Amino acid sequence: MARGIFERPETTFSFDQRAIGWILNDPANPLNQISQLIPAGAAILDVGAGNGILARLFQALDKSVEIDAVEPDLVAKEVAAPFYQSIFPGGLEAYLESCREREVRYDFIVLADVVEHMANPEPILRGLKSLLTPGGSVIVSTPNVAFASVRLALLNGCFDYVDSGILERTHLRFYTLKTLKLLFVAAGLYPSAQFHCLRNPLTSEISLDDLPLTPWTLAKIANDELSRVYQFLFVLQFEPCEITVKESLGTGGGYLPIAYIARRTSRTIRDVLRQVRALGSKQ
């Protein structure tokens, strides 16, 4: 049966073995950072396991961990199951309820691009405290809805859902840095590490190639350093603490107005050359 327009296509859960290399060679990928941050021997709960990519990364790094998962999509669950000790076929709220009758504790609970799928994440995040070992951490990554390409598309009246990315069709909540931090405060979580994962706005899943953008508009958006942040990544505790790590990862693609003009110029030259070749072949 075909999935609806606000359901994730089954094909997005398929796994390309090359993804391991792509992620581990990309410092701005949150999964790269998460797999490096968590030490061997840790007990982990991977919430929203998808195709099991986080467990596969630990395997590729030859890092032995004890990892369970929560995954509500039954197609994804079948793909991911071989890589986890156990996988719960439902949502995080149902998993929390199921743990009331048994002693379950984790050193790390990972929500990699998950909170944007939750209608009301605050009470669910608060409930994670019961699953953590003393000193345990919650790791959260989520897209930045104030990324430059989203802003520029909206200025031109465009808000188009995609199969994967910031405007993914199953996202229920959209976060800026401010609203994400407000969520953490409401849930009683304190950041100990904060990472800004930078991307080039001109090469994201939201195409700007056909939008009429002026250098002044681009310059104004580029002046906000958060416009180059594609995803936020936080390590969080339930006890008050100071942020000991605050780092930007990746490059963000350079100064946006110049990069945009260079890209448009290159595209125009390619189009002209293509037309010249087409005319030559007709003669």
The arithmetic mean of pLDDT across residues 181-192, rounded, is 98
In a domain, 174, yes or no: yes
In a domain, 212, yes or no: yes
Range of the domain at 87: 10-254
Q: Has residue 181 got a pLDDT over 70?
A: yes
Which has the higher per-residue pLDDT, 208 or 174? 174
pLDDT tens column, 28-55: 999 999 999 999 999 999 999 999 999 9
Domain count, the chain: 1
Task: Tell me which of 86-95, 127-136, 209-218 is least confident.
Answer: 209-218
Please state, as a whole number, how many other Cβ atoms lie within 10 Å of the Cβ of residue 76. Answer: 23
In a domain, 52, yes or no: yes
Instruction: Give all strands of the β-sheet with 106-112 in edge-to-edge order.
Output: 87-88, 66-70, 43-47, 106-112, 132-143, 229-237, 190-198, 245-249
The arithmetic mean of pLDDT across residues 152-159, rounded, is 95
Structure tokens at 77: 């669950």
The domain spanning residue 14 has which CATH number? Answer: 3.40.50.150
% of the chain at pLDDT higher than 90: 78
In a domain, 283, yes or no: no
* H-run or E-run covering 96: helix 92-98
In a domain, 262, yes or no: no
Confidence band for 2, pLDDT divided at 50, 70 and 90? low
In a domain, 259, yes or no: no
In a domain, 1, yes or no: no
In a domain, 281, yes or no: no
Question: For residues 4 and 197, what is the distance between their CA atoms, to the nearest angstrom?
Answer: 31
Predicted local distance difference test score (pLDDT) of residue 118: 97
